[in-house]
Chains A and B, each alone.
Chain A
């Protein structure tokens, strides 16, 4: 069960990283569009 918990947290952190990277990229693209 503890291995499973570590795996869930690791995958959640990876997913959050991907999500935040996409949000950051989205904001930059929108900012450049406005210029």
Chain B
């Protein structure tokens, strides 16, 4: 049954949405807004996942010189940027409630802005080169160098500098998972659903990107 997983995704994501509002907020001191946690973390996770897919497909393009890998890489980078914007918006709503303003130039906020600029430049580079092979080669090299920067900006920078962003909201300093089981289960289900949604949209984007004439018919 090829469409079984789509039906499963519909049910599981609906269950996650209901569970998010039925359960107690994950951090009582932050109140209702802390429910955003179940969407903010998966959006950030999919950002890193998408940029990793973009980097690995770029490596494959440089090795095999097939434009399909370039389409896969660019589609993943576009989706990564979309989820990064979602993570930034949900994060700034948190910031408004906890830090008093939507934008505070906190190391976490600054690093996510730099990340958006890096991948914005990737998309600008792609739109500036007309010849497909040349565009694919240039953007693949750029994407391979951009991914380590993404890892550094997401995981290292906010921990090196003093940040207001909680670093131990899932795993505490001793390396243990510190949240209650229902919250952890809902978060894991949300992470799984977001990953499936990413894979689904990515597949569709690649199918459309393989034949540019198709775009006008959709």
Chain A residues at the B interface, C-beta cutoff of 8 Å: 4, 7-8, 11-12, 15-16, 18-19, 22-23, 25-26, 28-29, 32-33
Which of B103-111, B136-144, B175-183, B199-207 interfaces with chain A? B199-207
Q: List 16 A-B contacts (CB under 8 A).
A: A4-B21, A4-B32, A8-B17, A8-B21, A12-B14, A12-B18, A15-B17, A16-B10, A16-B14, A19-B6, A19-B9, A25-B204, A26-B6, A28-B217, A29-B214, A29-B218
Given A4-B32, A25-B218, output 12 extra A-B contacts at Cβ < 8 Å: A8-B22, A12-B17, A12-B18, A15-B17, A19-B9, A19-B13, A26-B200, A26-B204, A28-B217, A28-B218, A29-B207, A29-B208
From residue A30, how far is it (CB to closest CB) to chain B in Å?
8
Nearest residue in B to A3 (C-beta to C-beta)? B32
Chain B residues at the A interface, C-beta cutoff of 8 Å: 6, 9-10, 13-14, 17-18, 21-22, 32, 197, 200-201, 204, 207-208, 211, 214, 217-218
B interface secondary structure, majority: helix
Nearest residue in A to B213 (C-beta to C-beta)? A32
Nearest residue in B to A11 (C-beta to C-beta)? B17
From residue B99, how far is it (CB to closest CB) to chain A in Å?
23
Nearest residue in A to B13 (C-beta to C-beta)? A15
Q: How far is the CA of A12 from the CA of B13 in the complex (A)?
A: 9
The CB with the most chain A CB atoms within 10 A, among B10, B21, B204, is that of B21
Q: Which residues in B have their C-beta under 8 angstroms from that of A32?
A: 211, 214, 217-218
From residue A3, how far is it (CB to closest CB) to chain B in Å?
8
Nearest residue in A to B218 (C-beta to C-beta)? A28
* Contact call B217/A22, Cβ cutoff below 8 A: no
Nearest residue in B to A24 (C-beta to C-beta)? B218
* Contact call A29/B14, Cβ cutoff below 8 A: no
Q: Which residues in B have their C-beta under 8 angstroms from that of A22?
A: 197, 200-201, 204
